[in-house]
Amino acid sequence: LVPYRAVFPEWASAEIQRLQKLFPPSVYLEHIGSTAVPGLSGKGVIDLLALGGVTRIIGGRTDPTDRFG
């Protein structure tokens, strides 16, 4: 196990931006796992989850990209 590093969210965000170009707008990429939890030790690998055809809630509003499927 490795200790949590504050740079993990930045790494995840950069990877999400890079990978999002490969998916249609209806696919949502989420940073998950131990590196997504501040202060939690883990394996030190950035885990991402791709979700499609789901409704996302952003600031109490439904994500407008959901209309694209």
**Ranges under pLDDT 50 in the chain:** none
Confidence (pLDDT) at 31: 97
Confidence (pLDDT) at 59: 58
Q: What is the dihedral of CA 17, 22, 27, 28, to 10 degrees?
A: -20
Tokens of 68: 């694209």
Tokens of 56: 């996302």
pLDDT tens digit string along 10-23? 999 999 999 999 88
Three-class DSSP category at 52: strand
Using alpha carbons, select from 29, 21, 19 the residue that is nearest to residue 56. 29
Q: What is the pTM of this model?
A: 0.71
Residues facing residue 68 across a β-bridge: none
